[in-house]
Structure 1
Amino acid sequence: MASSFLSTKPFLGSSITDDAFSGLRYLPSHLLRSPVHISIRTSTPKKLQIQAAGSTGGNYFRVTTFGESHGGGVGCVIDGCPPRLPLLESDMQFDLDRRRPGQSRITTPRKETDTCRILSGVSEGVTTGTPITVLVPNTDQRGHDYSEMSLAYRPSHADATYDMKYGVRAVQGGGRSSARETIGRVAAGAVAKKILKSLAGTEVLAYVSQVHKVVLPEDLVDHDTLTLDQIESNIVRCPDPEYAEKMINAIDAVRVRGESIGGVVTCIVRSCPRGLGSPVFDKLEAELAKAVMSLPATKGFEIGSGFAGTFLTGSEHNDEFFTDEHGRIRTRTNRSGGIQGGISNGEIIKMRIAFKPTATIGKKQHTVSRDKKEMELIARGRHDPCVVPRAVPMVEAVVALVLVDQLMAQYAQCNLFPINPDLQDPLFSPRLELELEPEPNNVPV
């Protein structure tokens, strides 16, 4: 005679303990003398199922990044890119060059060309609608710089928390916590920016507005006329030459001492379609905050008036509506930052992102080792004295990725049926002109 016993606790991958069989002691003695069949549930409960484990973002325009700082390479897979979009490696390379290390004396001296290769999803310069794979090889790794850090945790770095989560970590370069992970997002963001510009005329521009105690006054930058050339006119990516020089001097001062400082990146979105974002959990500012706060070294996010808005009254803060000469509903001020109720209103979206000082510095610090012994550490390796100049294209990229994903979501839900032209914008206007050679004997449909 046999009986079956089903453990009431799901097996989640750990070793089976006596607790799993505690119910056996309550079986009648004659059954315990007979063969007993044990059945263990090995499937993970639905609420605990792993979904991409943090390396994938987006719902319609999905991006997965891969690779580590000192591995063979880094890159991304873009799934959901519309077909027939003209796309070349040079489209991505421009922003990758803005992000790459070794571009000036105020960035990390690591020398990487960060040359990208498109491995799939593009045929004869046009996207095919299938997954786009982009690879950037690593060529300038120095693993020996991290010998001390294999034992000791860098203060305020991800070393300790990666060990706490995984029990193992890639020591060289910080593995996935390295800013080299963002190469994949910058490459994908270049594609997203091209889609936004082509379909909606949308521009995403970011610039450095603060380095340590050097703060660029807001009234010195006209967001209506700001250009990429102004931003790229100096190595710190501040559009005002006078304040740019002050910021560069501040970075130089800490660089020679083996120290680091932080700063703020301001990002604006011009000509954003109205209606992007959804109520409650998927508000546009919530999606943007998640995207930019997923970048390395970020510690703060503001949109519109931000924390300064807490010093105003309702009548001072409210953006009053009016109708412009084209019959469009506009706001006279923009303290909301282009988003109201979690949905874009067509005004300029303005946000600010705070970046902390680089954690890896060349000064002696107190820490502990993996075996919990207190010790001192002077970190080696090549690191940015201030991350914000190279963070500018990273911020632009993740903001563009959110907007493209939201644009596709808006079209899928709200543009299937005829729109109300008095209130809604047509999302997909014929701005994109594809110069494709017609196939032989191609019959127009």
Structure 2
Amino acid sequence: MKSMIAARSILQEVRLDFPYNYYLQHIQMLDQSGSLWIPLGDLAEIICDGPRNVKPSESGIPYIKLNNLKPGDIFHSSTNFIDDSGIQDKFRLQKNDVLISKTGETVRSALVPDSLIGAVFAPDIYRIKIDREEVSASWVNFFFRTRYASEIILKLMYGTTIKRLSIRDLKSIRIPIPSPEMAREIEDIELKAQKESEAARSIFSSTIKSLYAEIDRRCKDLVSSKHDSDKYMAVNNKWLNERWDFPYLRSKQLMTALSNVKLFRPLKKLAKIAVSSRRHLTPDDEVCFVQISDIDPQYFTFSNVHRSCVKDLPYRIRVPLQAYQVLVLASGTNLGTNLHPVAVVEPELDGCLASNAFFALEFKDTPIYYGLVMRHPLVLEQIRGMVSGTGVSSVNKKQLQNLLLPVLGEVWRNDFNDRAKVAWEKRRLAINVRQKAINMIDNFITETI
């Protein structure tokens, strides 16, 4: 993109910020260049303001929230189902729709997979319905993930208190029109990426199900008694002197029962907790870092990485990461639920930083296995008891060290660990394939402008 200086004469009455008017100048340049760039509003129907007052329902339709939307992918929790009565058809997703986030520091976009056709999206997500033959949904999705599109959208959101992309600005974004050959190549890349993604999702999902089933089988009596205790539990009078809240007492009873099962061992005997520090860095060092919102719950990994100078980092970003550490959120929301943030550090993130809201656990072997069991129901039940009755949901270091984890035999652990790695490899292959398409479009834009 050629550098330009925004003239004061073109400053609009509505927007006085220079980045936005820089964007207006850029639009004028595209219109005068003779290149084929068409506003998104002329290529697609953009639908916003999805249903707000929805009713949860176990047998309803999927409901896509903003935190389900990841760069290039959509994670749908099995708990996000709503009653579909009264939902307008325009809010139901169709094949080849593109979803894009309305708010946030970075814009996230993803192509709707076949498994989510008919789902409904939340109000803070735009639905882009392509209705012209010049571009495909895959092209538009990849375009919004290019470096060029990110810079344009940042200029459009500049000067707003809450980073928000308005529907008017979204419609005004120019989309480059590719040649038929390039469009077909992008489509082929997306089909290959979808195939690898589906394989990765299937392998990882079956790995988790079989792992949890094996743990439940080995402590069948304990699991059944746990469900019975949800209805009734005899409370020891001595416990009432310490805490009065029922979840804490139920968790304490569970931990007492687990300590008598050979399968379970305390975390302090399995891993050590890494120390958080930025002393080895200078203020001008450029580092990569990850945030809680970057976790991809379906793969126990991070879906996005940020870069910044150390002097510009938030204070809490101070935990140095090493490959195959297990990060467990110790303060915040969703602690002890099936959405409790847990992630295993991939080798590509070695040397990055994370928030000290995480505990970084270093296991001696099979770290992915231990990352998966951190979200087993019997482990989450213990964590729920630890955070119960506190003003701010948090788990301290001592509590975490006393957490009891199911430890299968070495052969079993290696098997589940290796199966998860295979899924990771297929996921990484899909990411690399899609990145190839993004780079192709970025290069195409550079040549066109």
TM-score normalized by the length of structure 2? 0.22
Report which of the two structures shows the higher radius of gyration computed on alpha carbons.
1
Larger relative contact order (CA 8 Å, sep ≥ 6): 1
Higher helix share: 2
TM-score normalized by the length of structure 1? 0.22
